[in-house]
Structure 1
Amino acid sequence: MAGVLDSVNQRTQLVGENRLELLLFRLRGRQIYGINVFKVKEVLQCPRLSSLPNSRPMVRGVAHIRGETIPIIDLGLAIRMSSIPPEEVATSFVIITEYNRKTQGFLVSSVDRIVNMNWADILPPPKGAGQEIYLTAVTKLEDKLVEIIDVEKILSEVSPLGDDVTEKTLTRTAERDRGVSLPVLVVDDSSVARRQIERCLTAIGLRVVTKNDGQQALDHLKQVTEDGSKATDHFSMMISDVEMPEMDGYTLVTRCKSEPLISGLYVMLHTSLSGVFNKAMVQKVGADDFMAKFSPDELAERVMDILDEG
């Protein structure tokens, strides 16, 4: 266990090509869950918690860690499973993460180990599982199913982000004479993130086509260009997440830039990996831009600037 805890900070600096490292943990049962180590800042035994009045039931309290006050979310309760009993909290663990420019801790029963995997082995949740499940992906490890938590969905319920573009930004974008733009291709495995981005872009008058992962996006781009046309004849730009099952955003960009008919498409990587994001990797794969999730005004302004320049 000490090896897992000691190595997290080092491992968060690693970025592979279509690879990820999963931190495995459990929630009061045999089921194994996973979270991308790249989003993990620290793992520690649960510190003393202070109550937070009027908070949602899954927020067990706040902890003061390294000079920062961090909300601690009972992950089992957040995904509609059983919560950790009060008498077990002190012996449980907290996974400190950074998502969408915010830091929070997830209370879990136990932390297992870190495994290195290929995104091609990470699959979307089974079809028919429903829209309300708290998973972005599943994988198999030693014949055991590992469920990868949709943290963005949880956080959207615990602490909803404002996903509406402000009137000030709408007024500025409305004043721009841009004519009719081609659709924007949005690629993200989180249904919450896709909905947020689509709502933002639709508000400023743009059409949106969404895909759930990098493989879907690449297949679609190849399909629309099989007649010899270019991707830029069909889309004004592509906004892609980095972490996605089957094919991650880095690999998607690399593959797109290697295809003559697709290479000219402007690609922005839009990811919740804000705190430890490796900008050198963005340049290496040839992405045109990067933005940390999620500010609707910033995204709207940046997209309009890109379209104006194009």
Structure 2
Amino acid sequence: MAGVLDSVNQRTQLVGQNRLELLLFRLRGRQIFGINVFKVKEVIQCPRLSSIPKSRSVVRGVASIRGETIPIIDLSLAIGMAPIPAEDLATSFVIITEYNRRTQGFLVTAVDRIMNMNWEDILPPPKGSGKDVYLTAVTKIDDKLIEIIDVEKILAEFSPLGETVAESVIQKSAAKSAERGAAYLPVLVVDDSSVARRQIERCLSAIGLEVVLKNDGKQALDYLKSLTADGSKATDHLAMVISDVEMPEMDGYTLVTRVKADPNMSGSFIMLHTSLSGIFNQAMVKKVGADDFMAKFSPDELAERVMDILSTERS
């Protein structure tokens, strides 16, 4: 166990060829869950928690960790299971993570190990699992089903981000569109989280852009190949691509590499838009050839950045 806990920080910089590392953990029961190590800052024994008056039940309290006050979320309760009993807190663990420019801790009962995986072995949740399921993907390890938590969905419910684009930004975007005198081509948005897709679609629709949605890198690459099968360029069909990094079957890094290597797609402007913020490796963005990077999720910032790109780089 100590080896797992000590190695988490060292492993957060992993960026491979369509690979990831999963931190495996348990809540209540025998089911094993996973979270990408790339979003984990550290794992600690559950510290002393201070209650927050009138806080939501999913927040078990706050803890002072390395000079920062961090909310501790009962992950079991957050995904619809029974809460972790108070008497189990002393033997439980907290996974400190950074998502969407925020730091929070997830309370779990046990931390198992770290597994190096290929994104091709990470699959979307089974069809028919429903919209309310808190899974972004599943995989199998040693013939056991591993459920990968959709953290963005959890955070959107207990601490929602603003999704409305400011009127001033909308007006500025309208002025730029009027100056151009022609409609922009659609924007391809690639993200495995239904919450993230909805957020980005609302943002871009608010500034008058048409959006094409795909759930992962493989779907996006297949779509781009279908557009360019007649010998045309991807830029004849799409204004730009906005892609998440972590996705089942094919991650964002691999998608960028494949697109930039194809003569009919290489001119595509690709922005990596990811919840990997503070620990994100900017050097990798340049290595794979991405054109831009933005940490999730600020609707005003995203809208303004996209309009700047379309009115300059893509005009």
TM range (shorter): over 0.9
C-alpha separation between the residues in 2 aligned to 1:87 and 1:26?
A: 17
Question: Which residue, out of 217, 231, 234, partners 2:234?
Answer: 231
C-alpha separation between the residues in 1 aligned to 2:232 and 2:174?
A: 31
In structure 1, the residue matched to 2:48 is 48
In structure 1, the residue matched to 2:223 is 220
In structure 2, the residue matched to 1:62 is 62
C-alpha separation between the residues in 2 aligned to 1:260 and 1:119?
A: 25
Amino acid at match of 2:159: S
C-alpha separation between the residues in 2 aligned to 1:126 and 1:260?
A: 35
In structure 2, the residue matched to 1:200 is 203
Does residue 308 in structure 1 map to residue 311 in structure 2? Answer: yes
Per-residue deviation, 1:288: 0.5
C-alpha separation between the residues in 1 aligned to 2:299 and 2:248?
A: 25
Equivalence map 1:254-273=2 (5 Å): 254-273=257-276
**What does the per-residue CA deviation read over 1:27-75, in whole Å, with 9 as the maximum and x for residues that have no partner?**
1110000000000001000000001112111000000000000000000
Amino acid at match of 1:108: V
Question: Which residue, out of 190, 193, 199, partners 2:193?
Answer: 190
Indicate the SS of the match to 2:22.
strand
Amino acid at match of 2:47: P
C-alpha separation between the residues in 1 aligned to 2:55 and 2:91?
A: 23
In structure 2, the residue matched to 1:92 is 92
Q: Matched residue pairs, number?
A: 310
Per-residue deviation, 1:229: 1.0
Equivalence map 1:132-171=2 (5 Å): 132-171=132-171
Indicate the SS of the match to 1:63.
strand
Per-residue deviation, 1:142: 0.3
What value does the CA root-mean-square deviation take over the aligned residues? Answer: 0.6
Amino acid at match of 2:110: S
In structure 2, the residue matched to 1:294 is 297
Indicate the SS of the match to 1:175.
helix
Per-residue deviation, 1:91: 1.2
**What does the per-residue CA deviation read over 1:232-252, in whole Å, with 9 as the maximum and x for residues that have no partner?**
111000000000000000000
Amino acid at match of 2:125: P
C-alpha separation between the residues in 2 aligned to 1:115 and 1:277?
A: 20
In structure 2, the residue matched to 1:250 is 253
In structure 1, the residue matched to 2:108 is 108
Per-residue deviation, 1:168: 1.8
Find runs of 4+ consecutive structure 1 residues off by over 6 angstroms.
Answer: none
Does residue 285 in structure 1 map to residue 288 in structure 2? Answer: yes
Per-residue deviation, 1:299: 0.3
C-alpha separation between the residues in 2 aligned to 1:41 and 1:228?
A: 45
In structure 2, the residue matched to 1:32 is 32
Per-residue deviation, 1:22: 0.2
C-alpha separation between the residues in 2 aligned to 1:158 and 1:45?
A: 23
Unmatched segments (≥5 aa) in structure 2: none
Amino acid at match of 2:44: L
C-alpha separation between the residues in 2 aligned to 1:20 and 1:93?
A: 22
C-alpha separation between the residues in 1 aligned to 2:297 and 2:224?
A: 25
In structure 1, the residue matched to 2:127 is 127
Compare 298-307 and 82-91 and name the one that shifted more. 82-91
Does residue 211 in structure 1 map to residue 219 in structure 2? Answer: no
Amino acid at match of 1:101: R
Unmatched segments (≥5 aa) in structure 1: none
C-alpha separation between the residues in 2 aligned to 1:218 and 1:20?
A: 20
Amino acid at match of 2:305: R
Indicate the SS of the match to 1:114.
strand
Indicate the SS of the match to 1:262.
coil
Per-residue deviation, 1:169: 1.1
Does residue 72 in structure 1 map to residue 72 in structure 2? Answer: yes
Indicate the SS of the match to 2:91.
coil
C-alpha separation between the residues in 2 aligned to 1:263 and 1:217?
A: 14
